[in-house]
Each structure stands twice: as structure tokens, then as C-alpha cells.
């Protein structure tokens, strides 16, 4: 039988399937909660871990710093310089899934220089798509400097005419900090 106007105008919204209304609400709630936790503990991840785990975490970070010749401290100095400038922001594009990436940022003490809205996961869409989203968000009349160690970052930076600063050794990181400190970047 032919459909009447009333039945053909009905909108069926799937509730339990991915992309359905309920699923989207749950996802939105989950990300609001993640953002709340990130924002609350970005300056104090020890408060999230509790006293015992905090001590173990601090010990592990100290060991990582010793083994890497203070790689994290130097990276944080460069990122802090950028963060302190009123017209600059740090943006992180990673192939790690978003929630584990946020956890890593907090555990490495980088939450203070990376606002949660400036962390992009390229797991499903690739770094190229993330670069395009960043450009959409901040515009084309902005100077971007891509810092990384991979081919994907370098190719993406070239495609969008962005300078690329390769970090493959400790001296590269020191040179970046020096260039920032002298305001060449």
C-alpha cells in the first residue's frame, strides 16, 4: 500500500546505534566529563593520582628525566615560552587516541601548556585532516610552525606552506628553545 503523507514524514531516530541520539548524548556527556577532569588536574595530576601513586609517578618522572638528559624539561621550557606569548598557542596533533593522549599530556606535566581544545587525535582521520581542522579553526592568516619528528608532519607542513622544525635529537630541542628565546620564532 502507498505511504500516506503522515507516515512518510515521520523521522526515525536510532537510539542505541552509533550516531544515534542517545549515543551522541552519552558521547557528549563523556567528553564534558573528560574535559572537566583534564581542566581540574592539568596543574596538579598528583591530586588525581592520590598520595602513593603520586610519589611513584614523581619518582618515575625523575628517572625518565635522568635517562633522557632532561628532554621533558627542555621541551616544557620551549612550550612554556610559546604559551606565555599572548598571540601564540601550542597545538598537539598525535596519532594516539584522544583519551590516552590526554592522560599522557597530564602525566608528563604538559597540561599547563596544552589547553584540551588544542589537542587533536589523528588516529582515525590522519594528521593531514587534523592540520586542516586547525587551519579551519584559527584561519589562514596565522603563522604556523610545525614541530615534529615524522614524515607525516613534514609532508603536512609543506602542503600548507608551514615551516617545519624537525626534532630528532636533544640538540634540535635545544636549538628550538634558543630560537624561541631569541624571538626568531
Sequence ranges of the binding site = 149
Which helix (H) or strand (E) is 92 found in, with range?
strand 92-94
CB within 8 A of 152, min separation 6: which ones?
A: 126, 127, 128
Binding residues for Mg(2+): 149
3-state SS, residue 70: coil
Q: What is the DSSP string of 115-179?
A: -GGGEEE-TTTHHHHHHHHHHHHH-SSS---EEESSHHHHHHHHHTT--EEE--SHHHHHHHHHH
Angle at 26 between CA 22 and CA 27, to 5 degrees: 115
Amino acid at each position: 500500500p502507498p505511504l500516506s503523507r503522515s507516515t512518510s514524514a515521520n523521522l526515525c531516530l536510532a537510539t542505541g546505534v552509533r550516531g544515534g541520539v542517545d549515543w551522541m548524548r552519552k558521547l557528549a556527556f563523556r567528553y564534558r566529563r573528560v574535559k572537566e577532569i583534564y581542566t581540574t588536574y592539568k596543574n596538579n595530576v598528583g591530586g588525581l593520582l592520590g598520595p602513593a601513586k603520586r610519589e611513584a609517578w614523581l619518582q618515575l618522572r625523575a628517572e625518565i628525566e635522568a635517562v633522557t638528559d632532561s628532554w621533558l624539561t627542555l621541551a616544557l621550557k620551549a612550550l612554556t615560552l610559546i604559551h606565555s606569548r599572548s598571540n601564540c598557542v601550542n597545538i598537539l596533533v598525535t596519532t594516539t587516541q584522544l583519551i590516552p593522549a590526554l592522560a599522557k599530556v597530564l602525566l608528563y606535566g604538559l597540561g599547563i601548556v596544552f589547553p584540551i581544545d588544542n589537542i587533536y587525535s589523528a588516529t582515525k582521520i590522519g594528521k593531514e585532516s587534523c592540520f586542516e581542522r586547525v587551519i579551519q579553526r584559527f584561519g589562514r592568516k596565522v603563522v604556523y610552525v610545525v614541530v615534529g619528528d615524522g614524515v607525516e608532519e613534514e609532508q603536512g607542513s609543506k602542503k600548507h606552506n608551514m615551516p617545519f622544525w624537525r626534532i630528532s635529537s636533544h640538540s634540535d630541542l635545544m636549538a628550538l628553545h634558543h630560537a624561541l628565546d631569541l624571538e626568531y620564532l
